[in-house]
């Protein structure tokens, strides 16, 4: 997914956010909400959620391309996201910042709020608006649960509850999350978080360029 304009070198006063495809809709929502007209967005594949080892090398190439296209201000729309610090090395190499925190489930809740529940959530399976919309594509089919529901216990047997971190108030997404919890045999909890720290960090990046 790419929604970035190609800039000439003398037009690099815009901010490019290179984000996970899983948060593209949310980045655009914050952009509109805050009136960040000078923010452009390009995304790495959402499926990297399953392949965190691909994130850092892909980000390295994406930043190099962005600089070649004339962007001087770049923000990485990822937390660590399972890269084990490798994404931080890429950020340091290019002198750019990323979202704070271990993953989007943390920054959506806000890092302060997440710190208070992190220990209690150790056995929780998180879902977001994106994962509700893409539940079949991201979980049912790749894990083979649509064909072999008996695998549910193998994949989710160590979880105790499903926590839906809701960015929006959408009854249809609520139904998906509730149905998923029931199917997986997990207790259900809904947390209305909005965009959490995504809003403040994008605002900060946009105004510090």
Q: What residues form DSSP beta bridges with 97?
A: 75
pLDDT of residue 9: 46
pLDDT of residue 10: 46
Nearest-5° Cα angle at 79, 75 to 85 = 105
Task: Give 55's contacts (C-beta < 8 A, 6+ positions apart).
Answer: 20, 44, 48, 78, 81, 82, 83, 86, 87
State pTM to two decimals.
0.90
The token duo for 66 is: 């962005």
Residue 5 above 60 pLDDT? no
Cα atoms found within 13 Å of the Cα of residue 173, Cβ hemisphere only: 19
- The answer to whether domain 2-103+197-207 has CATH 3.40.50 is yes
Alpha carbon 70 to its chain centroid, in Å, reads 25
Report H helices in the chain. Answer: 24-34, 55-68, 86-94, 104-109, 111-117, 129-133, 135, 152-156, 171-184, 197-207
The token duo for 182 is: 């029931």
Nearest to 202 by CA among 58, 33, 67: 33
What whole-number percentage of the chain has pLDDT above 70?
A: 94
Q: Which of 1-5, 64-68, 78-82, 94-98 has the lowest mean pLDDT?
A: 1-5
pLDDT of residue 7: 46
Contact 75, 81 (CB under 8 A): no
What whole-number percentage of the chain has pLDDT above 90?
A: 87
The boundaries of every CATH 3.40.50 domain in the chain are 2-103+197-207
Give 178-190 pLDDT, tens digit per residue.
999 999 999 999 9
| Structure confidence at residue 21 as a pLDDT band (50, 70, 90) | very high
CA 50 – CA 66 distance, rounded (Å): 25
CA 184 – CA 199 distance, rounded (Å): 32
pLDDT of residue 209: 74
Strand, coil or helix: what is 118? coil
Please return the burial class of 35, using the count of CB atoms within 10 Å of its CB with bins 0-12, 13-18 and 19+.
exposed
pLDDT of residue 84: 97
Residue 208 above 90 pLDDT? no
């Amino acid at each position: 997914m790419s929604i970035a304009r190609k800039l000439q070198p003398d037009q690099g006063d815009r901010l490019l956010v290179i984000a996970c495809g899983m948060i593209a809709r949310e980045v655009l929502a914050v952009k509109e909400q805050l009136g960040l007209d000078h923010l452009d967005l390009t995304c790495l594949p959402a499926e990297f959620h399953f392949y965190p080892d691909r994130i850092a090398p892909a980000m390295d190439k994406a930043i190099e391309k962005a600089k070649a296209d004339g962007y001087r201000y770049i923000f990485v729309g990822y937390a660590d996201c399972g890269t084990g610090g490798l994404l931080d090395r890429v950020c340091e190499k290019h002198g750019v910042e990323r979202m704070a925190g271990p993953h989007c489930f943390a920054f959506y809740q806000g890092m302060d709020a997440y710190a208070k529940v992190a220990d209690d959530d150790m056995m929780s399976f998180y879902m977001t608006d994106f994962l509700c919309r893409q539940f079949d594509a991201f979980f049912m089919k790749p894990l083979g649960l649509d064909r072999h529901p008996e695998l549910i216990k193998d994949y989710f047997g160590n979880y105790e509850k499903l926590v839906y971190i809701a960015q929006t108030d959408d009854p249809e997404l609520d139904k998906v999350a509730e149905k998923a919890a029931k199917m997986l045999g997990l207790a259900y909890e809904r947390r209305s978080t909005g965009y959490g720290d995504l809003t403040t960090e994008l605002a900060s990046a946009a105004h510090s360029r």
